[in-house]
Amino acid sequence: MSLLKLLVESPVAFFLTAIPLLYAVIFHEIAHGLVAYRLGDPTAKFLGRLSLNPLKHLDPMGTLMLLLVGFGWARPVPVNFANLPGDRKTIVAVSAAGIVTNILLAFVALFLLQLMEPKTGGALSTALTWFAYINIILASFNLIPLPPLDGSKILMPFLPAPLRQAFLRLEPFGLLIIIGLLFLGVLTPLIRGVFAIIYGLVGIFLP
């Protein structure tokens, strides 16, 4: 169900859902900037991109996709790697920050949903379900080693220079490829796998 359809069917559920979804995307980007800042790069902070103000982060196309298909993105938080230590661990830490954040948020949402059992249903349940969904989608997609996704930035420091350059040449087409894979359902097994891992972790912490 698109968020626009949800708005028509249940305005209360829409607002309880749209805001957490929006912040799932925003938290992903802030995590990159925050880790970079902690490691020595103040670029995101100076540009006001560590703010929780949505207007600092909204991307027109990403917001439209969020409303239409329940998957979207924010403007990438700028990171100047020249200000950071030039080792692989630093690059991996900054690049993986968004993925880790989305996994943690999905874990919290699924954990709360399980605590609500058997009292499921209603606007809160809908909001938590969507929140878990978008965070799992974001984490899954960004694990893919395809520019400009985080997975490629995690992988590239370990690649030889020629292969790294080949990866970079894919970046202008990366978003179109990802959207195509999304609509073709090719990424469904990956999304299900990430969901299964997070859901399994939730089970460990519940009696």
Catalytic residue check, 29? yes
Q: How far is CA 193 from the centre of its chain?
A: 16
Say which of 9, 29, 117, 171 is annotated catalytic. 29
**C-alpha to C-alpha distances, 117 to 133, 170, 179, 204, nearest whole angstrom:** 18, 45, 34, 16
Tell me, what amino acid is at 85?
A: P
Residue of 6, 74, 9 lying closest to 44 (CA atoms): 74
Active-site residue list: 29
